Structure 1
Amino acid sequence: MAESAGAGVELERQDGVGIPDRWARLWTPHRMAYVTAGDRETVDGGNGCPFCRIPTLEDAEGLVVARGAAVYAVLNLFPYNPGHLMLVPYRHVADYTELETTERTELGDFTSHAMTVLRKVSGPHGFNIGINAGDSAGAGIAAHLHQHVVPRWGGDANFMPVIGATKVLPQLLGETRALLADAW
Structure 2
Amino acid sequence: MDRMYSPWREIYMQSFKDEKTSMKDKKSVFSDIPPEEDEQRFVLHRASKCFIIMNLYPYNCGHLMVVPYHQSPEFSDLDAATMLEIMELTDLCIKALKITLKPQGFNFGANLGRVAGGSVDTHIHFHIVPRWEGDTNFMPVLADAKVLSNDLRSTYANLKTAIADLLSAKEQ
Q: TM-score range by the shorter chain?
A: 0.7 to 0.9
Q: Give deviations 1:35-73, integer Å, cap 9, x for gaps.
A: xxx94987xxxxx32110335552211100111110100
Q: How many residues align?
A: 142
- The answer to whether the 8 Å contact 1:93/1:144 transfers is yes
Matching of residue 69 in structure 1 with residue 42 in structure 2? no
Q: TM-score, normalised by structure 2?
A: 0.76
Which ranges in structure 1 are unaligned for 5 or more consecutive residues?
1-37, 43-47
Match of 2:113 in 1: 134
**In structure 1, what is the Cα distance between the partners aligned to 2:85 and 2:75?**
13
Q: Residue 91 of structure 2 aligns to which amino acid in structure 1? A: S
**In structure 2, what is the Cα distance between the partners aligned to 1:61 and 1:96?**
28
Cα deviation, residue 144, structure 1:
0.5
Equivalent residue runs for 1:32-43 within 5 Å: 39=23
- The answer to whether the 8 Å contact 1:85/1:148 transfers is yes
Match of 1:182 in 2: 161
Please, which moves more after superposition, 170-179 or 124-133?
Answer: 170-179
Cα deviation, residue 118, structure 1:
0.4
Match of 1:60 in 2: 39
Match of 2:166 in 1: none
Q: How large is the Cα RMSD of the aligned pairs?
A: 1.9
- The answer to whether the 8 Å contact 1:125/1:153 transfers is yes
Which ranges in structure 2 are unaligned for 5 or more consecutive residues?
1-21, 164-172
Match of 1:14 in 2: none
Match of 2:77 in 1: 98
Change in Cα spacing, 1:70 to 1:168, as seen in structure 2 (3 Å) is same
Q: Residue 77 of structure 1 aligns to which amino acid in structure 2? A: L
Matching of residue 166 in structure 1 with residue 166 in structure 2? no
Match of 1:83 in 2: 62
- The answer to whether the 8 Å contact 1:64/1:74 transfers is yes
Q: Please state whether the residue corresponding to 1:171 is helix, strand or coil.
A: coil
- The answer to whether the 8 Å contact 1:75/1:85 transfers is yes
Match of 1:123 in 2: 102
**In structure 2, what is the Cα distance between the partners aligned to 1:60 and 1:87?**
16
Matching of residue 107 in structure 1 with residue 86 in structure 2? yes
Which of the pair is proportionally richer in helix?
2
Q: Please state whether the residue corresponding to 1:59 is helix, strand or coil.
A: helix
Q: Please state whether the residue corresponding to 2:108 is helix, strand or coil.
A: strand
User: Equivalent pairs: percent with the same residue?
Assistant: 38
- The answer to whether the 8 Å contact 1:55/1:62 transfers is no
- The answer to whether the 8 Å contact 1:128/1:151 transfers is yes
**In structure 1, what is the Cα distance between the partners aligned to 2:83 and 2:43?**
19
Q: TM-score, normalised by structure 1?
A: 0.71
Equivalent residue runs for 1:18-57 within 5 Å: 39=23, 48-57=27-36
- The answer to whether the 8 Å contact 1:93/1:145 transfers is yes
Change in Cα spacing, 1:165 to 1:182, as seen in structure 2 (3 Å) is same
